[in-house]
Amino acid sequence: MVVKFTQKAKMHWILIILPACFINRIYALPKMSNSGLCIKDPLPVSCSHQLSPELAQDSCLVDQIFRNHSTCKDWFSSSDRCDRVSGCGVVLQPFVDIYYKSGYNFTQVAFNVSFTELARVTHLRFERLDKKEFRFCRRFMLDELAITFQESPVWFDCLFHNHTYSSVEFALDFLVDGRSGRYVFIVPQENRLNTEADLESQEIFIYLHFNSLPKPVVSFQTLKGVNLYTVRIIRWENNFKDTLKTFIVDVRNPKTFAYNYKEIITFDTEVDLDVGNYSVEVELNDPNINGRVSGTPFFVVIDQKLPVMIVACVALFIVAALLLGFLFVVWKSSDSSKRGLLLPQDTKSILFLYDPVSAAHIKVVVALKHYLEEHYNLKVMLDIHDIPQTKHKDPFEWYSMAIHEADCVSIIVSPTIKPQLKEVPSVVDYSTLKTQTMKKRGENNEIIYQHTFSLGISLLISRIRTMMKEKNYNLDRFVVLIPPYSSETNIPPAGVNFRRFRISEQLSGFLKHIQHSTSCNNLERKRMNCFSNTFRWKSLNGIESSSAGVGLENAIKAAVNSVDSDKIIIVEDAVPLCNEILIKKQEVVADVENIHDSSSDEDNKFYVGEVGEFPPHVRNLPSLFNTS
């Protein structure tokens, strides 16, 4: 029998078939994220709507952490780890996301991260394993009221990239109230997700609980209508795979897996792996379906089960080495205390900032440099000695480097009465910068650089401002040294809130402060140095302040008496030392006096009490370093 359709009948059949086809495939269409947290603004966005409409907007907040921020870049793994199976309740699930860009629709793989165990602070980070520069971080903050909604988890389903990363290895790191965890996985291909109509092409998403090693735990996404799965532990050696163990997981039987959450099955292999290279695979267990095999990234298990005797021998050797090292340090400290010297390993660098107002004052600074280097193994950075030895011969560049690298920056207070010098041009006028020299009986001594004190103070202020913005500052690095002929009233505004030491009465206190503030208390130092430095510094504990400074006092007197004239002779035909490029950096070199005009009268009062302590009126950082 032959059936013929008229043109009108054909149109009716088309109208009936098209909706049926659409309905048959609608479940495979991509979906859009619905967490309401897909923001690009770094300001926090509320996630309270996910828990309860009755919660305040600030009960649950999510904010963006930029990838170059220390929290996202230098990710830390807490010693308190998440449970190897539950992973602090963090569940990862992929889906095909649809998004709009430039008027067009695009689809790509996205991930839903669900937090089934609510916590006060939770961090998450996606990171590409082969290229560490790609990172994506978010932070979740919940109050006590929001945490009570434990049955309604918080989730995040926004794209963590703008490119296709199919078959690329990624890691999801998370911190849940200080407990850390990590999942490693391979991003599935977009065209192999949500294709339930073609199970042979479907890709099973699987990720490894990194905290579980050496007993691997994996989680994988089940497929619609499929109940049986095969899980294999694969050992790799010389590019050959060997199936170490095989498991059968039945979705209908909870005894065959750890737990199930929204089609994500978590399975504990409970196999203690030996040293080697491994991966875990999962595939459909159906003889009628030739399904695809999905696997985790390769992971390496290292030897953590040394014999007890070997461990005991190694521990005994380490203890003996530490004991011998401790005795050696104590012996060297005792020997150095008799000589008043520091060990060579304890060499610290100090930058002297001083105003060359007189020849005698300069001689005292030079004498102090030689005395500290000769008797206490300190490296003193001084412009008149160090700048001529550089290739650039540029005070600006040298001071910028010295202030950044010195362990301690010391401002040496000028004499109470300054000699009347020639009219001094503005600090920023580098085109008039001239070299100066002292002349004594026709003999040329060190070169003196004009206006470098103001330059150094300005760069010091700029350095402190930068440190404050980075939240990594330590004002103990900066001190004030007061010679016998100077007064606290002559301390420049930039140093009124630094620790003060009189030279030479408090020399030993100054030296102890250098060691303490530039090792254990310095945020830029490694903690490993603190143990050795603590015992090495005991060489100074037996030095009385009077005996420590008597030699320096004599050196200062000799320096003052050796100068016939208290004038500085300016060499008019000297060549400027700053290059033209650095001359233009006037925004860094500011007038110190003008900067400090904003400080209050209370801040300008000088402390007359014990030198070496902070003035009592200091409660916050001075307005001189205000970064607002």
Report the CATH architecture of 340-593+607-612: 3-Layer(aba) Sandwich (3.40)
Burial class for 17, CB neighbours closer than 10 Å (0-12, 13-18, 19+) = exposed
Answer yes or no: are the C-beta atoms of 571 and 586 closer than 8 Å.
no
**What are the DSSP E strand ranges found in 48-152?**
60-65, 90-101, 104-115, 121-128, 135-142
- State which CATH number among 3.40.50.300, 2.140.10.30, 2.60.40.10, 2.40.30.260 fits the domain covering 195-305: 2.60.40.10
Choice among 177-186, 329-338, 352-361, 517-526 with the minimum mean pLDDT: 517-526
- Domain spans in the chain, listed from the N-terminal domain onward: 27-191, 195-305, 340-593+607-612
Burial class for 370, CB neighbours closer than 10 Å (0-12, 13-18, 19+) = middle
Backbone angles phi, psi at 413, to 5 degrees: -70, 140
φ/ψ bin of 352: left (φ > 0), alpha (ψ from -120 to 50), beta (otherwise): beta
Strand arrangement of the beta sheet that strand 349-353 belongs to: 379-381, 349-353, 408-412, 478-482, 499-502
Average pLDDT estimate for 363-368:
90
Q: Is the pLDDT of residue 523 over 70?
A: no
* Amino acid letter, residue 461: I
What does the pLDDT look like over 23-59, one tens digit per residue? 333 334 567 778 888 876 667 899 999 999 889 999 9
Is residue 85 helix, strand or coil?
Answer: coil
In DSSP terms, which residues pair with 81 in a beta bridge? 180
Distance CA 226, CA 224 (A): 6
Average pLDDT over the chain reads: 73
**In CATH, what number does 27-191 get?**
2.60.40
pLDDT of residue 438: 36
* 70-98 CB burial, b ≥16 within 10 A, e <16: eebbebeeeeebbebbbbbbbbbbbbbbe
Report the candidate in 206, 111, 221, 216 with the shortest Cα–Cα distance to residue 157. 111
Please tell me which of 33-47, 270-284, 461-475, 487-501 the model is most confident about, judged by mean pLDDT: 270-284
Q: Is the pLDDT of residue 440 over 60?
A: no
Average pLDDT estimate for 18-24:
41
Average pLDDT estimate for 558-585:
40
pTM for this model (two decimals): 0.48
Answer yes or no: are the C-beta atoms of 44 and 52 closer than 8 Å.
no
pLDDT of residue 322: 86
Q: How confident is the model at residue 553 (pLDDT cuts 50, 70, 90)?
A: confident
Choice among 209-218, 332-341, 472-481 with the minimum mean pLDDT: 332-341
Q: Is the pLDDT of residue 541 over 60?
A: no
Percent of the chain with pLDDT over 90: 27
CA angle 549, 552, 558 (to 5 degrees): 145
3-class secondary structure per residue, 376-405? HCCEEECHHHHHHHCCCCCHHHHHHHHHHH
195-305 matches 27-191 in CATH topology: yes
pLDDT of residue 196: 58
Report the candidate in 397, 443, 434, 405 with the shortest Cα–Cα distance to residue 564. 443
In DSSP terms, which residues pair with 26 in a beta bridge? none
Higher-pLDDT residue of 233, 286: 233
Report the candidate in 251, 214, 216, 221 with the shortest Cα–Cα distance to residue 232. 216
Please tell me which of 156-165, 383-392, 430-439, 562-571 the model is most confident about, judged by mean pLDDT: 383-392
What does the pLDDT look like over 50-78, one tens digit per residue? 999 889 999 999 998 888 888 888 877 77
